[in-house]
């Protein structure tokens, strides 16, 4: 079993709904944290993601049926079906400095979860609320799968344009429709393998 390689900054994902008001109006902001991003040219800005359809694909990995495999390089997640097949989903992954990899298990499942930013995030972003009730505007989206004892989640998002991008603070984001589909397929104890 792989040892979990966590970046030193264990923080949860946040929403673009909380824009910083102390930056120039022409500043470019991270779509997740709303922190300013240094941009040198117009071409260096990340393009908007297009829809990434959920589909059943060929999968030759060595993983048992029921395993979730996240390829952070591809920005895709695979739910292993067996017989050489998997369901592939588009995902958003950790931005530079917030990447991680390893093997964990799903320890909790929540529908329309509440959100409490962790202390590390509040230290960086004191403007964030201390608590947000679950619902359509909540940054954890329609469903959340809690990974081990870490602060990381696989969760829904109300920002579909971030799927296929490296924008989160370490969480794995999915469109709400896809996380609802995955939530119905898995159970507590499901193995999650995150590949860097």
Cite the active site residues: 155, 171
C-beta separation of 87 from 183 below 8 A? no
Q: For residues 21 and 37, give the distance between their C-alpha atoms in angstroms, rounded to a whole number.
A: 14
Q: Which two tokens stand for residue 30?
A: 């991270």
Q: How far, in Å, CA of 33 to CA of 128, rounded?
A: 10
d(CA 115, CA 108): 14
Q: Which of 49, 16, 54, 70 is nearest to 162 (CA)?
A: 49
């Amino acid at each position: 079993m792989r040892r979990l390689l966590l970046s030193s900054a264990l923080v949860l994902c946040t929403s673009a709904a909380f824009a910083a008001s102390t930056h120039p109006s022409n500043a470019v902001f991270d779509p997740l944290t709303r922190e300013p991003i240094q941009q040198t040219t117009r071409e260096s800005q990340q393009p908007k993601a297009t829809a990434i359809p959920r589909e059943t694909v060929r999968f030759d990995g060595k993983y048992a049926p029921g395993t979730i495999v996240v390829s952070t390089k591809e920005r895709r997640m695979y739910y292993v079906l067996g017989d050489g097949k998997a369901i592939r989903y588009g995902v958003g992954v950790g931005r530079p400095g917030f990447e991680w990899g390893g093997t964990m298990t799903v320890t909790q499942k929540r529908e329309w979860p509440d959100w409490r930013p962790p202390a590390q995030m509040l230290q960086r972003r004191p403007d964030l609320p201390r608590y947000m009730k679950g619902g359509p505007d909540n940054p954890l989206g329609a469903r959340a799968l809690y990974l081990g004892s870490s602060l990381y989640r696989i969760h829904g998002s109300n920002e579909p344009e971030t799927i296929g991008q490296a924008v989160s603070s370490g969480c794995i984001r999915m469109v709400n429709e896809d996380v609802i589909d995955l939530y119905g397929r898995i159970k507590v104890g499901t193995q999650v393998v995150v590949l860097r």
